[in-house]
Structure 1
Amino acid sequence: MVLVFFCISGVLGAIERHPSITTRDTEAEATHSLDTDSRLFAETIDPFPGAVVVVANDWPLIYGLNTLKQECVPFGHRIVNSVKLVGGTKQDAILTYMASRSEPYVVVASSDFEFSEMTAERRVNVDSEAGFDADAANRLREILEGYGEEAKRPLSADEALSAAVNNPMLRHMQKYVTAS
Structure 2
Amino acid sequence: MVFVFFCIGGVLGPMHQHASLTTRENAPEATRSLEADVSLLGRTLDAFPGVVVVVGNDWPFYYDIGLLRRECREFGRRVVNVVKTLGGSKEQAVLDFMSGRAEPFIVIASPDFEFTELTASRRIDVDLEHGFDDEARAGLLEHLDTLGVYASNPLSEDDMLRATVVSRDVRRAQKYISPIRAREDVAFQHKLRSLMSEEAMR
Same fold (TM over 0.5): yes
Q: Following TM superposition, by how much is the alpha carbon of 1:17 offset from its aligned partner in structure 2, in angstroms? A: 2.1
Q: Following TM superposition, by how much is the alpha carbon of 1:54 offset from its aligned partner in structure 2, in angstroms? A: 0.4
Give the secondary-structure state (helix, strand or coil) at the position aligned to 2:11.
coil
Unaligned 5+ runs, structure 2:
182-202
Contact kept? 1:162, 1:171, Cα under 8 Å: no
Report the counterpart of residue 188 of structure 2 in structure 1: none
| 1:172/1:47 CA distance change after superposition, 3 Å | farther
Give the secondary-structure state (helix, strand or coil) at the position aligned to 1:111.
coil
Contact kept? 1:7, 1:110, Cα under 8 Å: yes
Which of structures 1 and 2 has the bigger CA Rg?
A: 2
Report the counterpart of residue 141 of structure 2 in structure 1: 141
Q: Following TM superposition, by how much is the alpha carbon of 1:171 offset from its aligned partner in structure 2, in angstroms? A: 4.8
Give aligned-pair identity as a percent.
Answer: 51
- How many pairs were matched up? 180
Give the secondary-structure state (helix, strand or coil) at the position aligned to 2:73.
coil
Q: Following TM superposition, by how much is the alpha carbon of 1:169 offset from its aligned partner in structure 2, in angstroms? A: 4.8
Q: Distance in 2 between matches of 1:30 and 1:169?
A: 33
Unaligned 5+ runs, structure 1:
none
Deviations 1:44-93 (A, max 9, x none): 11100000000011010101000100111211421000011111100000
| 1:80/1:175 CA distance change after superposition, 3 Å | farther
**Relative contact order higher in (CA < 8 Å, ≥ 6 apart):** 1
Moved more, 28-37 or 165-174: 165-174
What TM-score comes out, normalization by structure 1 length?
Answer: 0.93
Q: Following TM superposition, by how much is the alpha carbon of 1:177 offset from its aligned partner in structure 2, in angstroms? A: 3.0
In the TM superposition, what are the counterparts of 1:49-128 in structure 2 within 5 Å?
A: 49-128=49-128
Aligned AA (1:41): L
Structure with the larger helix share: 2
What TM-score comes out, normalization by structure 2 length?
Answer: 0.83
Aligned AA (1:63): Y
Aligned AA (2:113): F
Q: Distance in 2 between matches of 1:84 and 1:145?
A: 29
Deviations 1:87-133 (A, max 9, x none): 11000000011111111100011112110111001000011111110
RMSD over equivalenced CA pairs, Å: 1.8
